[in-house]
Chains A and B, each alone.
Chain A
Amino acid sequence: MTSADRGAGLAIETTGLSKRFGHQLAVNSIDLAVPRGSVFGFLGPNGSGKTTTIRLMLGLAAATAGSVRVLGQDMPGKLDEVLPQVGALVEGPAFYPFLSGAANLHRFDAADRHASPGTRRARVAEALERVGLSHAARKKVRAYSMGMKQRLGIANALLSRRELLILDEPTNGLDPQGTREVRSLVRSLAADGATVFVSSHLLAEVEQICTHAAIMSAGRLVAQGPLAELRQAGTAQVRLITPDAGAASGVLVRFGMTPVVGHPDGADAVITSALDAAPEAIVAALVADGVRVRGFAVERGSLEDRFVALTGEGFDVAQ
């Protein structure tokens, strides 16, 4: 497969993409590959370079090094051909507070010289309806709640039929119900055949709607791929509950594992270890040695474990 063939299957492809602000390397040589038709989760802690990467993709900022291809075309070189097919929500919604929601959408649609003025009214109305804002169309954006502005921002991305949607933190400021609505909207867009690129620091959100994901940390891309593979990449753990701690540990050591014995409740020992053998073989050996197995579980790492392992714990994130 040549690189051109690979590129044809990608909605977004970056090669060695870097952006430097003064001394800080905000985006550090990332090679992102977003397959067409995927719902792609772009994860990373705040300040890890997600929004800067999105700005580079959309031609809002110029890369210090590397290249970006969006929908098979070079950015920002082919910006005028690419962007009409891309709907975007970048770093939160932004509107003219003195205009109504509908007037704001009219304004942005007028800025797209490829959008037909004849269908503008209908398209604005449909976009507003799609995000549930029809009732507030004539209201000044100044009077909108944060969640309503967020919805309007998404409506702006949906003004025309798009091949690619780039949604930066689309559920920011939304209540749980609004978050669910955005999830179902993303699914319906993907069902229509659009590629949806969603940046988020909310793992649960990404786990629920995405087919693929990438993880950013301190400007670097530390992992990417289909969601299932990302989850698998974390090692599975065995969790064994038994009163016979010594014998059980002996069995696990025979399998080449390094058990850790704990006594959380006093009575039974809880032994944990990285899984290095077939679970059924371990259980058989334990029973054969007369170990009283009161609990046995294999725990796969969640995306959250993987995320934390790659980007650091809590506030101790990589800077």
Chain B
Amino acid sequence: MSHSDQVSAPGAGTRTNPGREGSSPRQRPSSRSLLASELKQLFRRRRTQALLLALAAIPVMIAVVVRLSTAVPPGRGPAFLDRITQNGLFVGVTALIVAVPLFLPLTIGVVAGDTIAGEAGHGTLRYLLVAPAGRVRLLLVKYVGAVAFCVSAPLAVALAGAGIGAALFPVGPVTLLSGDVVEPGEALNRMLLIAAYQTVSLLGLSAIGLFLSTLTDVPVGAMAATIVLSVASQVMDQLPQLEWLHPWLFSHYWFGFADLLRQPIGWDSFTSNAMLQAGYIAVFGALAYGRFVSKDVLS
């Protein structure tokens, strides 16, 4: 048996281990390794790829349905749906709007809820900490991973929308909400801007998911709680009785990207949204830190 030969081979114990050669205390510790490992693991994972594929399927589905139907009555269905047949660039915009209330928060909930609880569930959290990854560093790396997903999720919708739109429909100059007409290149930029807006919109929810993820060893629990909160926030935003609360809800500006479709671009809602999300990152980041740094890791 090769096993025993290798383990108990004479000299196995005296063989020099190259381990610490490059890691004398003087060498600058590398923090990038863990981040690179986290991003690679996140995006190479089948589940993440499936989530992004599902998001990319939204514009494809919309485009195919519109292409196969005879005529779309104006003013019905999601915004801009009736404009798609004239200009394929509207597929991406329509899909981004459709994805905001449920699909995007759903995928973010899965990724953010999994951050710490997923490691705990696998039992790998204890080995990361013993490595030692450092608790603060691990928390930061996990949040950056979630942010990277927040960037890629709307981007997947936008790019798939642009691709399928260009493939199935004519592409031409676009009339903005302000009445100005812009070239397709500029229209594409605007769509990417909307995707960026939605990335910012999801940062607060990601911080909430990260915090919830430090509370449990069961990733599904943290995921479900994050998704439920995203729905609850939107429901509360609809209740006039809670109007005083609306500006503080993390979902309050989720649909406020219409200003990006005017000439000149209005940045007010973008700024308000960014500040609100920054507040959520600060509060839930602090909560996650407080919880995780003192947590007994017994998983």
Q: Measured between alpha carbons, how far is A130 from B36 in the docked complex, in Å? A: 27
Encode B118-161 as 1/0 by CB contact (under 8 A) with A: 00001110111111111001100000000000000000000000
Verify B6–A132 contact, CB threshold 8 A.
Answer: yes
Residue in contact with A159 in the complex, picked from B19, B129, B134, CB distance below 8 Å: B19
Verify A113–B2 contact, CB threshold 8 A.
Answer: no
Q: Measured between alpha carbons, how far is A88 from B297 in the docked complex, in Å? A: 15
Whether A62 contacts B128 in the complex (CB less than 8 A), given A111-B133, A135-B2, A187-B13, comes out as no
Chain B residues with Cβ below 8 Å from A123 are 17-19
Closest to A154 in B: B7
Encode B4-41 as 1/0 by CB contact (under 8 A) with A: 11111000111101111111010101110110110001
Residue in contact with B7 in the complex, picked from A98, A118, A122, A185, CB distance below 8 Å: A185
Instruction: List which A106-145 residues lie within 8 A (CB) of chain B.
Output: 106-119, 122-123, 126, 129-132, 134-135
Q: Is the C-beta of B294 less than 8 angstroms from some C-beta in chain A?
A: yes
Q: Is the C-beta of A191 less than 8 angstroms from some C-beta in chain B?
A: yes
Chain B residues with Cβ below 8 Å from A84 are 23, 132
Verify A117–B13 contact, CB threshold 8 A.
Answer: no
Q: Measured between alpha carbons, how far is A313 from B31 in the docked complex, in Å? A: 51
Chain B interface residue number, banded: 35 or more
Q: Measured between alpha carbons, how far is A187 from B7 in the docked complex, in Å? A: 11
Verify B23–A132 contact, CB threshold 8 A.
Answer: no
Chain B residues with Cβ below 8 Å from A156 are 127
Q: Is the C-beta of B235 less than 8 angstroms from some C-beta in chain A?
A: no
CB distance from B118 to the nearest CB of A (A): 9
Verify A191–B13 contact, CB threshold 8 A.
Answer: yes
Q: Measured between alpha carbons, how far is A62 from B24 in the docked complex, in Å? A: 29
Verify A132–B20 contact, CB threshold 8 A.
Answer: no
Chain A residues with Cβ below 8 Å from B130 are 58, 60, 83, 86, 88, 90
- Other A-B contacts than A61-B296, A83-B131, 18 sampled, CB-CB below 8 A, are A55-B126, A58-B126, A60-B296, A90-B126, A91-B126, A92-B123, A106-B37, A110-B33, A110-B37, A112-B131, A119-B21, A130-B7, A130-B12, A132-B3, A134-B6, A135-B2, A177-B4, A184-B7
